[in-house]
Structure 1
Amino acid sequence: MWSNSVFKPEGKVNTSSTYTFRSQTNSWKTKLSTGIKGLILPLLLLSLAEMTVRQGWIAPYLLPAPSSLWQTFLELLHADLFSHIYISSVRVGIGFFIGSGLGLIVAIAVGLNKHIEDYLDPTLSAIKSIPSLAWIPLLLLWLGIDESSKLTLIIIGAFFPTYTNTVAAIQHVDPKLIELGVAYNLNRFQRIVQIILPAALSGILTGVRNSLSLSWMFMVAAELIAATQGIGYLLSDGRETARPDIVIVAILLLALLGKMTDLGMKKLEQHLLRWR
């Protein structure tokens, strides 16, 4: 009879760690592949713009060559570019947190109470339809050209996406979940905190992300009209001095800052919804 020890392996293979390593490697490769794919279109557009300007098909005073934008960026960097970025970012941050916070509070009240909805929603729906530029003359008349008018415009822009998405998310919570809370003898406050808000969290966060994007857009609208600092001011200054290179650099900065803040919000969303 053969001994069982002959067939016993000397070491045990940790299949769990091997699977985890392979999963992490595949995830890293997928992210790298996705990142490379995302760069293809911008690189093609930059190459096309460079070629059209170098060939003389488009005048440089209309569209500067992308290769010349680096020099413009360095010039702006020595001319206090970070101060413009800081001012705009602070305006967006303050306006976004106040506007989306107010939108969240009002939306929860409207979404949970039909009587409050009947009073507030028709008026808010009408105000939501007003274009952002229409507010600027009135805000300048009421608040002047200082920071209060700019922040108020950003607050208005940040309020409505959070409000609209939060109301819709709360009102579309599965009634069976609420009935389950009643069956477990949860009071109204407990049902709101433990059932309704977690179930509506995905829609709420979508609205908050949209509010952040609109905050950047409304910031530009405010700074284009009345500002002496900020990225919107750079856009206006580039237009008035016939410097399309400054305008394009400012637009690229806005795209970069908007993308970075959206990625941060996306990471926060993934963290808060990790339970799913």
Structure 2
Amino acid sequence: MSISTTGVLSRADPAAPAQVPRPARRRRPSLRRWISPVGLIALWQIASSTGLLPPEKLSSPWTVLQAGVEVARSGELGDAFVISLGRVGAGFALGAAVGILLGVVSGLFRWGEALVDPPVQMLRTLPFLGLIPLFILWFGIGEETKILLVALGVAFPLYLNVHSGIRGTDERLVDAARALGFSRGERLWHVVLPGALPPALVGLRQSLGVAWLALIVGETVNADAGIGYLITNARDFLRTDVVVVGLVVYAVLGLVTDALVRLLERRALRWRAR
């Protein structure tokens, strides 16, 4: 027994109003998320004002704000910001290219997984920050070491998530696309890559966090410019206020890059059910 759409449509009430989909409401940021950060800053200021927190251990928020204005007006913060941003940008571009390429090769091809995955997994287990002495011996104390540290930290999260996303594609969707006559390239473009996009974007967020961590270590170990150098120089002169300013800049940069990826995720994954 077959069911025709004509019969179904004929039973519909023509007088019934058409169902108009309601536009999705934009979620406004909740002010409740600001309660704990503002409270912590207030407690920090109170502890500093009452002497519970000595200034040589940690400067007060007001002192940190004044130090931030000072280094910004002198131009030190702006120069350090540009240098650090260039380093993390170059390292991220290199690491992302390598991680995505290896993840695609290992995820799409059996021989690629057999050749690529074992050495990547072995290298992934190494603490990449422990490779700093070896990198210094190989590449010196110039820009190459800092950029390669960032690239190494970026490559592994992207590789794992891209590989997992490709291998986690629903086989039923691939079989359906094959039954519809899609070529291998069309199945890859219309089924596999969209299915791998959500994990890849998660890996992008993880890799950006690791990129800033690697940059902090690279700049505080061997650097003559950048935010890490600003922090190290302030440490030598016991300027905890400037140290906190540098850490705040790192944190803000990390939050901004993460927010950009989340915006990209919302735009790229509009097809996904919310």
Post-superposition Cα deviations, 1:155-191, rounded to whole Å, max 9, x if no partner, equal 1011011000111111111110111122122222221
* Distance apart, 1:202 and its partner CA: 0.6
Task: Give the residue type in structure 1 aligned to 2:36.
Answer: L
Query: In the aligned structure 1, how far is the partner of 2:271 from the partner of 2:35?
Result: 34
- Asked if residue 218 in structure 1 is aligned to residue 230 in structure 2, the reply is no
Partner of 1:99: 95
Task: Give the residue type in structure 2 aligned to 1:256.
Answer: V
Query: In the aligned structure 1, how far is the partner of 2:32 from the partner of 2:87?
Result: 33
Gapped regions of structure 2 (runs ≥ 5): 1-19
Partner of 1:46: 41
1:75 to 70, 74, 94: 70
Partner of 1:239: 235
**Match of 2:120, SS?**
helix
Post-superposition Cα deviations, 1:126-160, rounded to whole Å, max 9, x if no partner, equal 11111132111111111111111111111101101
The runs of 4+ residues in structure 1 deviating greater than 3 Å are none
Identity of aligned residues (%): 32
Partner of 2:57: 62
Alignment of 1:202-213 (within 5 A): 202-213=198-209
Task: Give the residue type in structure 2 aligned to 1:185.
Answer: G
* Distance apart, 1:79 and its partner CA: 2.9
Query: In the aligned structure 1, how far is the partner of 2:183 from the partner of 2:28?
Result: 45
Partner of 2:226: 230
Partner of 2:85: 89
1:260 to 235, 256, 261: 256
Gapped regions of structure 1 (runs ≥ 5): 1-15
1:139 to 127, 135, 141: 135
Is contact 2:154-2:208 (8 Å) kept? yes
Q: How many residues align?
A: 253
Post-superposition Cα deviations, 1:220-251, rounded to whole Å, max 9, x if no partner, equal 11111111111111221222221111111111
Is contact 2:231-2:243 (8 Å) kept? yes
Partner of 2:144: 148
Query: In the aligned structure 2, how far is the partner of 1:250 from the partner of 1:42?
Result: 18
**Match of 1:64, SS?**
coil
Post-superposition Cα deviations, 1:90-146, rounded to whole Å, max 9, x if no partner, equal 111111122112111110110111222112211111111111321111111111111
Is contact 2:67-2:245 (8 Å) kept? yes
**Match of 1:186, SS?**
coil
Query: In the aligned structure 1, how far is the partner of 2:243 from the partner of 2:127?
Result: 23
* Distance apart, 1:43 and its partner CA: 0.8
Task: Give the residue type in structure 1 aligned to 2:70.
Answer: E
What TM-score do the two structures reach when normalised by structure 2? 0.87
- Asked if residue 174 in structure 1 is aligned to residue 170 in structure 2, the reply is yes
Partner of 1:7: none
- Asked if residue 128 in structure 1 is aligned to residue 124 in structure 2, the reply is yes
Computed over aligned residues only, the root mean square deviation of the Cα atoms, in angstroms, reads: 1.8
Task: Give the residue type in structure 2 aligned to 1:229.
Answer: A
Q: Determine which structure has the larger helix proportion and give its number.
A: 1
Partner of 1:11: none
Task: Give the residue type in structure 2 aligned to 1:201.
Answer: L
